Structures are given as structure tokens and as C-alpha cells.
Copies of this chain bind each other. A is one copy, B any other.
């Protein structure tokens, strides 16, 4: 950690900073320049409290040298993590390293029939994990809020029947225990990326966690949220880039494509993209999905509906089944260029061998 003093900081302030660094068990190195004094705190960075030093008199700024996350960092885990989803009543699907996967399904589960129909469509198209919301985070209290536990049972039954692990969003700490019995993968939504109690609760479970990036979270803050889950013992976190808030208003959110190479350089965790919520409009979903894979993502999560105009949630961004199928073909080709391979649905796997 490096402490830059104000240009006119008195000696007493410099002495105080040095004393504090040493009190915290680190060593202080002074560099006196023509205009300023800079103090380096050498030793294990975790023991030095950045905020404390920044609050001392005469300190202009404190520059941390180490990353603030550990378990999520590639410095402590050099190779790509490969996360396994499913494996109970369904095959295991791997995500990470050279393993890519497509997660698809409806935005929200609206009925058992619609779920089963869409699930078959996405499985036929090449998805290997089924998504579907049962509790929905809606900006308006007057919008459809999801069907809850009943829809969760349908998801489980449908996933088991089709051999697809299921991924479902959890919104409230009180839902974790019950949901853990049903799901193969918890999804944490963008608006809950810094709901720290929720992160801790899913961190105590044994199921993988798909962690969407917050709408205004830096890559560093995102990895800090992953660290919350990892620090509770759950080492299976999948990052998901889904777009950030910017001034551009043609799309719902701006897919931050650079977060993919950055997160991959800083962390060993796998990362996928959600082009549906970023685009907000089905016309643009395909281009964003392809871009995500080309940038190095380990897969995509997309929303599909056979009749978007009937969807109770996010219809405008849902792909039609035939669009989804065509997109998967292109995604497979892109994956080859970035040295990844998509998992294939169970029976098809047999067939293609």
C-alpha cells in the first residue's frame, strides 16, 4: 500500500502515518520527493487498513497495490476454475476453462405447460441448462411477481424429465433454504449483487451460484461480491455480465464487453454473458451473444419464448425458438475460434458419438 502525503504535510503527520503502519504490523518506507513525501507500507497488505490511513491528517490519497479479493483472484488460483452444475437427477454440465454452456428458458415461469414447451424448444436448440424465474424482481409493485414455490416444482420436474440442470433466481435470504432442495444453480440478480446477507446465505449452500454483475458495479466490486460467496465455503461461482447503466439509451443496458477479458485476467472464475437483458430487444440479442463468446466468455444465458407477445415479463427481448436455434449454430462456430466447446444435450451427445 502506498500513502501519498499532501504537498504541505508537516513532519508530525508523516510521523503519525509511519507509526500507524508499524502499529498494524507492517514496515514503512519513506520516499521524499521535491514536492511530496510518499510512504510505502511493505508487508502483508491485508493487515493494513486503507480507510484508516486515508483518514489521517495530511494524507492526500492511499493507493492499494494488492487486489482486495483473494479467493476470487487468479494470483491465488492460477488455472481456470471449472464449475459443475447438476449431477443429481440430471447430467453434470461443466462451465469454465474450455467448457462452454448455454443456459436458456423463459424469463418467468408462467404455467407448467408454457414451461415444458419452451424447455423442449431450448433443449432442441442446444441449451443444456434450463432457466426460469419463479420470484421476479420487478421495478413496479404492480407487475407480475412470479408464481413462487409451485413454479419451482414444475422447474424441477421439467429439468429432470429433459435431463437439464435448472438455474433459478433467489431474491430473499428467507428463500434460500427451501430453494436449495430444488435448484441445481442459484442465480443472484443484478439488483442483489450487493445484497450481502443473501450472498452469505448462498455461500453456505452446496449449489453453484450464478452471480450477475450489478448495474453500476465495477469489475472489482463484482469480484468482491464473488468473494463474499467464496469466503463462506462455496467455491462454485459463475460470473455473468448482463450490461451496465450508461448514458446510451438505445438499449436497456450497455453490455460491457471488456469486462470479459478483464475478469478473466483478474480471476479464475468462469464468466458468461446475458445478451437478453442488455439488449432489451430481440433484434440485437444475437449480435451481443456472438460478441460475448468472441470476447472469451464461457457461454450465454438467453431468454426464449414461442409467443413473446403473451409473455408476462420481458417479451420484447425473448428470442423465438427458431432464432435461438440459428444463434446456437453461430455460437458453436465462434467457440471454436476461442478454443471452447459447448456441452450438448444428453441424448444428442449419445447420438453424436
A interface with B by C-beta (< 8 Å): 2, 4, 7, 20, 29, 31-36, 38, 40, 42-46, 51-52, 54-57, 63, 65-66, 68-69, 75, 137-142, 171-174, 191-192, 194-198, 200, 214-216, 218-221, 224-225, 227-228, 231, 244-251, 254-262, 265, 278-279, 283-284, 287-288, 290-296, 308-311, 313-316, 318, 330, 333-334, 336-338
Contact = CB atoms under 8 A, between A and B. Distances in A.
A248 B259 contact: yes
B288 A257 contact: yes
8 contacts: A35-B45, A51-B311, A55-B316, A68-B139, A137-B196, A218-B249, A258-B287, A261-B283
A288 B295 contact: yes
Contacts of A35: 45, 66, 75
A229 to B, nearest CB: 9
Contacts of A288: 257-258, 261, 295
Contacts of A338: 290, 330
Contacts of A251: 258, 262
A197 B52 CA distance: 34
A2 B4 CA distance: 10
A196 B219 contact: no
Contacts of A225: 139
A61 to B, nearest CB: 9
Give the 8 A-B CB pairs with smallest separation, nearest first. Answer: A55-B315, A216-B216, A294-B294, A261-B287, A191-B194, A291-B295, A290-B294, A172-B197
A76 to B, nearest CB: 10
Nearest to A336: B333
A216 B218 contact: no
Given A141-B231, A173-B173, A265-B283, A2 B218 contact: no
A283 to B, nearest CB: 6
A1 B31 CA distance: 11
Contacts of A45: 33, 35
Given A55-B309, A283-B261, A220 B38 contact: no
A293 B247 CA distance: 24
Given A194-B139, A334-B334, A337-B334, A220 B293 contact: no
Task: Count chain B CB atoms within 10 A of each CB in A4, A278, A294 and give the residue with the most.
Answer: A294
B250 A262 contact: yes
Nearest to A308: B55
Nearest to A190: B194
Contacts of A173: 172-174
Contacts of A38: 2, 40, 65
Contact of A224 (B34, B140, B191): B140
A51 to B, nearest CB: 6
Nearest to A63: B63
Given A216-B245, A224-B139, A32 B42 contact: yes
A328 B12 CA distance: 31
Contact of A140 (B36, B68, B278, B294): B68
A40 to B, nearest CB: 4
A4 B67 CA distance: 12
Nearest to A33: B42
Given A31-B40, A142-B231, 4 more contacts: A52-B315, A171-B197, A248-B256, A258-B287
